[in-house]
Chains A and B, each alone.
Chain A
Amino acid sequence: MRRFALIALLVACGGAVAPVATPADDTPKEASIVVTEAMGSPHIGEAAPDFDLSDVNGGHVKLSSLRGSVVMLAFVTSWCPFSEAEQPNLQKLADDYRGKNVRVLAIDIKEPEVGYRKYLGRVPMAFPVLWDQTGDVVASFTPAHAQPDITDRSTVLVTSNLVIDPVGKIRFFTMGDTAHFDAKLVFARRTIDAVLAEGG
């Protein structure tokens, strides 16, 4: 405590003291907000709701058709700076797990086409970016008591990430956490590794 006090004092006074944390390592010590049973369904341990959504090219993905693979699922929008910061790291995750039975999907939440295309246009992404035009799919994933103060319920899961195991069960489910923002998806990768290890 006393040591901390001294550092805080020197920092406060503009003294030449090195910062107390390394800014380059921005991985938070704890995971983003974890979706728990108390927030309602679905939550970790439950089956992921099925969906069948199209992408911009007219292709479509049915979640249940991916049984047997590990699915990394990200809910995104073009307007959220956290979604934007995470975007290149989703592609990097897809690259790093290529050939390892991991499928990456992003779902753009209820945006007009201009917003959806803005998201698509930012970073080249070699995985399906699906378009939930009506918001029905995100609604089926939104726990009723998560962020109860947010009135537009379709925005509760912006920058949420899920890992779904080969039998369709949710193994990782976090919501956008501004104070513990895991832009590099380190915590999701840990779960993916653990689920892959089970299969191996």
Chain B
Amino acid sequence: MLCCMAGLTACGAAPRAALETPTWERPGLGGAVRPEMGSPQPNEVAPDFTLPKTAGGELRLSSLRGSWVVMHFTATWCPYCDAEIAHLGEIANDYAPHGVKVVVIALQEDHDRWVSYSKERLLPSVTAVEDKTGAVALTYAPPHAQPSFKDRSQVAFDTTLIVDPHGVIRLFLLPDTAHFDPKFGGVRGELDRLVGASRSRAGAKDAPVAADVLDPEDVVRVDAHRSLSAIDVRLEIAPGYHIMSDHPTDPYAIATVVRAGSVSARFPSGQDYRVGDKILSTFSGSIIASIPSSDLVGPVTVRYQACTASRCLAPITREVPTN
């Protein structure tokens, strides 16, 4: 279900959202970016980036699709950031069971200074990356926020974002020293609402319970059989999981695709999956997709993203041999 939550943010659901109290008038969220500040905004895809991790290697934001992500821009010189940084680790620890990842971005920091600072102040549950030039921060600076700042990358410092499993921004907070809360009460409240709410809906009724986080490949068992006129591809989806249908009715959802060469499969109708007041088209249980040709050679390609009620796994594309 959570994978479909982004659907609520699409324009179809905006009238209801707009009648609610604006984000910045809610407790702890006074720093929320306003529409008039310009992009990026909630309901937009978070600008992607690849940055070096302090621990080595690189992090690409879009590689975290399937998880909720809390992002925070920090700097060692910023006293407010300093008061907050330990509490980011607490969020990472507390929300790890809910599939939430925490990424802290050190903004225009000297590498050695940041390494010694983060060793002392940052819990290992947080992924630290470094934006040495501020180029990534610049993509997170709404053009009309802090109009007096000449170095626009500095607009992003001490900002906090929640990004959903589809990579869509759901919360974007600029710092608000007038209501300073180093423990991120407002962010936690939003995480509870966004992540926790979908969990409690999942627990309702007698929905099957998903096995603890499976590998995306293990969630769907696929086999393909050639007949005289078609290749029939059976997808068996693990209990408690669903995948989007081939027509998911949601701009953010990843449609299931089954094809051989350039020929796509025909699917049965999707099942309605209710998220709030939005209905999404999904598959669960066992379905058969039929590729209307028997003379194709080579493997069948299957692409899907599997979700439980509370989290989505990374999208996957698999090749399945036919027999």
Task: List the interface of chain A (C-beta within 8 A of B).
Answer: 1-2, 4-6, 8-9, 11-13, 19-21, 23-24, 26, 32-33, 79-81, 84-86, 147, 149-152, 155-156, 158, 175-181, 183-184
- In this complex, the member of A19, A23, A81, A147 whose beta carbon has the largest number of chain B beta carbons within 10 angstroms is A81
Contact of B80 among A13, A20, A150, A184 (CB under 8 A): A150
Residue B35, interface by CB 8 Å: yes
Residue B264, interface by CB 8 Å: no
Contact of B36 among A19, A79, A85 (CB under 8 A): A19
CB distance B43 to A12 under 8 Å? yes
CB distance B83 to A9 under 8 Å? no
Residue B276, interface by CB 8 Å: no
Q: Closest residue of chain A to B12, judged by CB?
A: A13
In the bound assembly, the distance between CA atoms of A188 and B77 in angstroms comes to 27
Q: Which residues of B contact A13 (CB under 8 A)?
A: 11, 14
Known: A178-B158, A179-B178. 16 other contacts (CB 8 A): A5-B15, A6-B18, A8-B17, A8-B18, A8-B35, A12-B17, A12-B41, A79-B77, A81-B154, A84-B150, A151-B83, A175-B177, A178-B175, A179-B30, A179-B176, A180-B178
Report if A23-B77 is in contact (Cβ < 8 Å); known contacts: A149-B83, A179-B174: no
In the bound assembly, the distance between CA atoms of A178 and B33 in angstroms comes to 12
Q: Closest residue of chain A to B35, judged by CB?
A: A11
Q: Closest residue of chain A to B182, judged by CB?
A: A149
CB distance A81 to B178 under 8 Å? no
| Total count of chain B residues near the partner, CB < 8 A | 40
Residue B215, interface by CB 8 Å: no
Do most interface residues of chain A lie in helix, strand or loop, or is the interface mixed? Answer: loop
Contact of B177 among A19, A147, A151 (CB under 8 A): A147
Report if A21-B79 is in contact (Cβ < 8 Å); known contacts: A81-B154, A149-B182, A179-B30: no
Q: Closest residue of chain A to B36, judged by CB?
A: A19
Least CB distance, B172 to chain A, in whole angstroms: 13
CB distance B83 to A12 under 8 Å? no
Residue B157, interface by CB 8 Å: yes
In the bound assembly, the distance between CA atoms of A9 and B154 in angstroms comes to 29
CB distance B180 to A147 under 8 Å? yes
Report if A9-B15 is in contact (Cβ < 8 Å); known contacts: A26-B148, A151-B82, A155-B79: yes
In the bound assembly, the distance between CA atoms of A5 and B11 in angstroms comes to 13
Least CB distance, B35 to chain A, in whole angstroms: 4
Q: Which residues of B contact A19 (CB under 8 A)?
A: 35-36, 38, 144
CB distance A23 to B178 under 8 Å? no
9 contacts between A and B (CB under 8 A): A4-B18, A12-B11, A13-B14, A23-B147, A81-B154, A81-B157, A84-B151, A149-B180, A179-B176
In the bound assembly, the distance between CA atoms of A172 and B156 in angstroms comes to 29
CB distance A85 to B149 under 8 Å? yes
Q: Closest residue of chain B to A182, judged by CB?
A: B148
Contact of A152 among B82, B147, B157, B174 (CB under 8 A): B82
Q: Closest residue of chain B to A34, judged by CB?
A: B178
Least CB distance, A163 to chain B, in whole angstroms: 20
In the bound assembly, the distance between CA atoms of A149 and B43 in angstroms comes to 32
In the bound assembly, the distance between CA atoms of A6 and B15 in angstroms comes to 8
- In this complex, the member of A24, A150, A183 whose beta carbon has the largest number of chain B beta carbons within 10 angstroms is A150
